[in-house]
Amino acid sequence: MVVMEEFQRLPRQIVVSQRSDSKPHLTDFVVKSTIFSRYAFTAVSSTMVNRAYKPKDAIFQMQIPASAFISNFTMIIGKKVHQSEVTSKAKKSKDKIKEHSGKNDMDSEVEIFTVTVPLPARTKVLFLLTYEELLERRLGKYTQVISVRPMQIIPKLLVEIHLTESSGITFLEVAPLRNSKQTNHPIAASPPPSTKISQTRTTAHIRFSPSITQQAAISETGVLGDFIMRYDVDRELGVGEIQVQNGYFVHYFAPKDLPPVPKNVVFVIDTSGSMAGQKIQQTKEALFTILNDLRPIDHFNIINFSSRIKVWQSGKLVPVIRETLRDAKKYIFQMSPSGGTNINDAIQTASKLLKDYIAQQDKSVRTVSLIIFLTDGRPTIAEIQPRKILNNTKNAVENKFCIFSLGIGKDVDYKLLERMSLENCGVMRRIDEDSDASAQLKGFYDEIGTPLLSDIRVDYSEDSVEYVTQNVFANYFNGSELVIAGKLTNSTVNNLHVQVTASTSDKRLTLEADVIINDTRKSSDNAKGRPSDAKLLQRAWSYLTVKELLRSRLKSGSSRMKEILFDKARNLSLEYHFVTPLTSLSVKSSGDQSSASTENVMNESEVKAERAQALQTLTKPDSTSLQERKKTVVVSKTSADGDPHFVVDFPLSKMSVCFNIDGEPGNILRLVSDQESSGVTINGQLIGAPAPPNGHKKQRTYFSTITIIASKPSRSYIEITPHKVVFDGRDRFILSCDKTIEVEIEGLVVSVTAKSKVTVTIQEFISFVILLHQYKNPAPYQRDHLGFYILNSKGLSSNAHGLLGQFLYSEVQISETAVKASGSARQQNQTQAEGNGKSLGSVIMLNIKDRLVPVVRKQRRIYNGQQQVDCWFAKNNAINLIDGIYKDYLVSNLFETSTSSANQL
């Protein structure tokens, strides 16, 4: 058995196969989630069927919240069950799992779990994935996000949520589907179509089951987005809510109706050169809004840093009044990014400023002090070693205030920011660099903008509890929640004494109560594959304990303590079957030697690319064969390439004919039309470009897009550009022309050779090659364009038409026709006649369908000049050579298949 490698808070992927060709059909995608007292147990099941007569790779993919722990994964292939196992991850030399500065691998909102497994012919596979998480309260609401991205329109799609909160549900909403990182939705926006909600005082049932038509209306690709449910519970001022089950308890403390505590806040803003553009603009917009939300009881200052450190108001924090807000906004407006990133000195300056201010204040006035630190990069100026920066920060802060860190974009040392915040009673948040970054910054501030309590301590009856998670907190912010979990030393006791002490805005607060232990919720309707409800709080305790051990390990500066915390977190993860950074998930394949192991990772923006990439052959040929495959092209003369030059091969007549079509930019030309017989239609759209210097043409035209419509055995649409291929059939694929990949669906094969060509094969007897002409540094008269070649036309009927299709079953003859010496034809053919030894009183005529067409001898180069064709050239837009005139071959859109007038000629 092969086990997974290091499992960090990263996108996750399991690979069970060595080869991948195309994806079996997805028949159902079901997500069922049970939430009991904020703890969510989510089970995902997905069935795929391989209807082909040869093995195919089945790909299962699911986005899960980054805060969640996977607790089980099972595959049932045919009648064989392949069960996952969580095993210990070996300690690395020099503790490589420890904190490190480097890759941007922290705090992504989602992770991608991907499994690829070889599926035998005519067989189905059932994937079962479970994950668990404690829902966090932010801005007064708990939020559950379920990814609904089956990547196909499927017959059965279901999301079902069962919610139970014994204290009572006071607010419940289902937001519109979210297919981006945008977090805000219009007030009173409607839930997704087909959503049904039923609710009592303590329970709620939510069901989302869109039909095929409703799915297609939301997204034709099967990427519906995030299904979001938000809710809140009833609470009163007191010691909070305590849930007890089977000797384990979870204590939720979120008091309401308290006056805000005055806060002292220093904004530390990165204005280095990398912040230029959208990032600084979004930061300024967020700061303008945040300043307006400061309360008159607050005090603040602003520091911006790059290579230098600049303080807005030297040596002090200023009150929130109209004049200071006006001057602060002016200062922010004038911030201009330049220079490097001096993180160490910025934190040192802010810490000294805040400490000096706190020392001067009346000790009877209770306040909350904090630094809000924002950066988009790594330290590049002064002290750049993360460990030294952390030590310097800890010494400067001296536990007198908290640091809340925000990182924007992909170049941030998130491990450094997370440790800096964890060691100084704050949190770190990742801000995605997109159009919604300003709202994300403001949203984060809203979470910490209203402190209600400080210096909080929660105690329980002496000797009545053990294994209690964190019970001392620096601050409590409005809209959040403090959660403590533990184990009762005596599970038969009837009550638990709880004492909460904290500071409000004007006094020291003590709350005490004897909480009656009402452990009445035993095993109930036990869903298949998940623990009974009576064990959910026990798992919530283990979840919180593992999270705390991992945070403590990250903060610890002692190697011995790190090792102790490592062992505790790992052992608990193994006991509860949690996949954490300290454990590995493996899948043992029964009956063969296959097993699952991690191969690589990917982030949210790579999901679509990974899905397409997983369809290609994973066994890579050697570099020599790759070069040969790219350069070697099957010789077919019938083509439309260049600007554009048409070449038609007549093998029965043992000759080739060539012609040009001088269309207009935007014209769409019918190249092949055989819709009624083989079901194939091919159209090409022209793009314009200036002619080369000293040329006789005013402009050139090239094919910018080729579309292939195939209606047999089922309707498929293929759109090809120099940079991507869109393949719409039963599924939708977007393939990059920069990667070698092959997709096959029901006898239609699309094969991309990276940066070289696209080959389309239909039912084995029809095939086309589209050459990719790409320029690294194009001249003004050059455009990335396509060349179209007919490789195999055996499957096209004798009724085929179009600019190229009409010649597939034709024969032609060449004859010499005498003309008068003064004729213009003689002048046109003089040069060619001399070269061929013909008399000046004759022209060469091509006989096709009883039509005579004057032609001259030319040479054409095809396949990027690799092949040379001797051909008879017909002038004047192929007049008399083609049926009708070239304008008869113009169509209104790229996917039009109707028969044109030329087809009837």
| Token couple for 823 | 């004729």
First to last CA, the chain: 68
How many Cβ atoms are within 10 Å of 496's Cβ, its own excluded?
Answer: 21
| Token couple for 413 | 């040392």
Whole-angstrom Cα distance, residue 562 to residue 328? 44
Q: Which of 633, 577, 670 is nearest to 768 (CA)?
A: 633
Using CB atoms within 10 Å of the CB of residue 289, give its burial: 0 to 12 exposed, 13 to 18 middle, 19+ buried.
Answer: middle
Whole-angstrom Cα distance, residue 570 to residue 97? 12
Q: CA dist 674 to 359, 551, 647, 711, 768, Å?
A: 86, 66, 19, 10, 14
Q: Label the pairing between strands 368-375 and 263-270.
A: parallel
Q: CA dist 657 to 247, 814, 848, Å?
A: 89, 11, 11
Cis before 386 (ω within 30): no
**pTM, rounded to two decimals:** 0.63
Q: Which of 458, 481, 478, 479 is nearest to 469 (CA)?
A: 458
Q: Which of 486, 488, 490, 489 is nearest to 468 (CA)?
A: 486
pLDDT of residue 624: 38
pLDDT of residue 404: 95
pLDDT of residue 524: 38
Whole-angstrom Cα distance, residue 654 to residue 650? 6
pLDDT tens digits, one per residue of 238-249: 889 988 888 899
Whole-angstrom Cα distance, residue 205 to residue 221? 28
Residue pointed to by tokens 């301590």: 457
Q: How far from the centroid of its chain's Cα atoms is residue 210's Cα? A: 23
Strand ranges (E), 290-334: 299-305, 309-311, 318-319
pLDDT of residue 333: 94
Q: Which of 846, 848, 850, 870 is nearest to 860 (CA)?
A: 870
Strand ranges (E), 819-866: 842-848, 851-862
How many Cβ atoms are within 10 Å of 196's Cβ, its own excluded?
Answer: 12
pLDDT of residue 585: 86
pLDDT of residue 533: 55
Whole-angstrom Cα distance, residue 905 to residue 362? 98
How many Cβ atoms are within 10 Å of 544's Cβ, its own excluded?
Answer: 19
H or E element at residue 359: helix 343-360
pLDDT of residue 502: 93
Residue pointed to by tokens 């303008």: 288
**How many degrees, rounded to 5, is the angle at CA 859 between CA 853 and CA 862?**
110
Instruction: Give 650-701 as a 3 state SS string.
Output: ECCCCEEEEEECCCCCCCEEEEEEECCCCCEEEEEEEEEEECCCCCCCCEEE
pLDDT tens digits, one per residue of 68-123: 999 999 999 988 989 888 988 766 533 333 333 333 333 457 888 988 899 998 89
Using CB atoms within 10 Å of the CB of residue 148, give its burial: 0 to 12 exposed, 13 to 18 middle, 19+ buried.
Answer: buried
pLDDT of residue 899: 63
The reply to whether CATH 2.60.40.3680 applies to domain 25-90+97-181+188-233 is yes
Cβ proximity of 905 and 670 under 8 Å: no
pLDDT of residue 697: 66
Q: CA dist 732 to 63, 153, 172, 425, Å?
A: 19, 10, 35, 48
Residue pointed to by tokens 């050779």: 753
Whole-angstrom Cα distance, residue 615 to residue 429? 35
Low-confidence ranges of the chain (pLDDT < 50): 1-21, 93-107, 182-187, 520-530, 591-634, 821-839, 900-905
Cβ proximity of 43 and 530 under 8 Å: yes
Beta bridge partners of 197: 206
Tell me the CATH number of domain 263-449, given options 3.40.50.410, 3.40.50.11390, 3.40.630.30, 3.90.230.10. Answer: 3.40.50.410
Residue pointed to by tokens 């993180």: 343
| Token couple for 69 | 């722990």
pLDDT of residue 695: 65
pLDDT of residue 711: 87
The three-state secondary structure class of 621 is coil
Q: CA dist 14 to 121, 452, 570, 900, Å?
A: 22, 45, 21, 51
869 φ/ψ sector (left φ>0, alpha ψ -120 to 50, else beta): beta
Contacts 24+ apart (CB under 8 A), 206-215: 206/159, 206/160, 206/161, 206/163, 206/174, 207/158, 207/159, 207/160, 207/161, 208/148, 208/158, 208/159, 208/160, 208/174, 209/157, 209/158, 209/159, 210/157, 212/153, 212/154, 212/155, 215/153, 215/154, 215/157
Cβ proximity of 405 and 417 under 8 Å: yes
How many Cβ atoms are within 10 Å of 302's Cβ, its own excluded?
Answer: 22
**How many degrees, rounded to 5, is the angle at CA 372 between CA 368 and CA 377?**
160
pLDDT of residue 222: 81
DSSP of 460-520, one letter per residue? E-TTTEES----EEEEEETT--EEEEEEES-TT-SEEEEEEEEE-SSSEEEEEEEEE----
Q: Label the pairing between strands 39-50 and 80-88.
A: unpaired
The three-state secondary structure class of 855 is strand
Q: What is the DSSP letter of 532?
A: -
Q: CA dist 225 to 181, 219, 491, 749, Å?
A: 10, 9, 44, 29
Q: What is the DSSP letter of 100?
A: -
For residue 129, the number of C-alpha atoms closer than 13 Å in the C-beta half-sphere is 24
Whole-angstrom Cα distance, residue 635 to residue 793? 14
Instruction: Give 801-817 as a 3 state SS string.
Output: ECCCHHHCCCCCEEEEE
Whole-angstrom Cα distance, residue 751 to residue 41? 42
Q: CA dist 22 to 28, 218, 881, 904, Å?
A: 18, 25, 43, 40
Q: Which of 232, 229, 228 is nearest to 171 (CA)?
A: 232
Whole-angstrom Cα distance, residue 394 to residue 210? 53
pLDDT of residue 528: 42
Whole-angstrom Cα distance, residue 251 to residue 270? 39
pLDDT of residue 7: 36
Residue pointed to by tokens 């053919």: 829
Per residue in 234-249, is it b (16+ CB within 10 Å) or e — as a string? Answer: ebeeebbbbbbbbbbb
The three-state secondary structure class of 319 is strand
